[in-house]
Amino acid sequence: MDYLNNFADERLIIGCIYCSGGLEETRDHVPSRILLEPPYPANLPVVPACRDCNAGFSLDEEYFAALLECVLAGSTDPAKIRHERVARGLERNFALRERLESSKREENGRIVFAVEEGRIRNVICKLAKGHATYELSTPYRAEPDLISWCPISEMTKDEWEDFDAAHVGGAINEIGSRNMQRLLATQVLLESENGERIPMNLLVNDWIEVQAGRYRYQAIDELDVVRIKIVIAEYLACEVVWSRDSY
Ligand SMILES: [Zn+2]
- Give tens-digit pLDDT for 132-147: 999 888 888 999 999 9
- For residues 69 and 65, give the distance between their C-alpha atoms in angstroms, rounded to a whole number: 6
- State in Å: Cα 9 to ligand 1 middle: 21
For the segment 67-95, the average pLDDT, to the nearest whole number, is 96
Q: Is the pTM of this model over 0.85?
A: yes
3-state SS, residue 247 = coil
Per-residue pLDDT tens over the stretch 50-65: 999 999 999 999 999 9
- State in Å: Cα 228 to ligand 1 middle: 21
Query: Any idea of the CA torsion for 235, 162, 205, 242, to the nearest 10 degrees?
Result: -80
Whole-number average pLDDT of the chain: 87
From first CA to last CA, the distance across the chain in angstroms is 29
Among 12-21, 196-205, 238-247, the minimum mean pLDDT is found in 196-205
- State in Å: Cα 230 to ligand 1 middle: 23
Q: Could you give the percent of the chain with pLDDT greater than 90?
A: 60
Question: Between 211 and 8, where is the model more confident?
Answer: 211
pLDDT for the residue 139: 86
For the segment 97-116, the average pLDDT, to the nearest whole number, is 95
Nearest Cα neighbor of 139 from 2, 7, 12, 9 is 12
User: What are the backbone dihedrals phi and psi of residue 98, each rounded to the nearest 5 degrees, phi first?
Assistant: -60, -45
pLDDT for the residue 197: 76
Strand boundaries in the chain, DSSP class E? 26-29, 46-49, 104-107, 110-113, 146-151, 167-169, 184-191, 197-205, 208-211, 215-221, 225-232, 236-243
For the segment 69-74, the average pLDDT, to the nearest whole number, is 96
User: What are the backbone dihedrals phi and psi of residue 135, each rounded to the nearest 5 degrees, phi first?
Assistant: -80, -35
- State in Å: Cα 118 to ligand 1 middle: 19
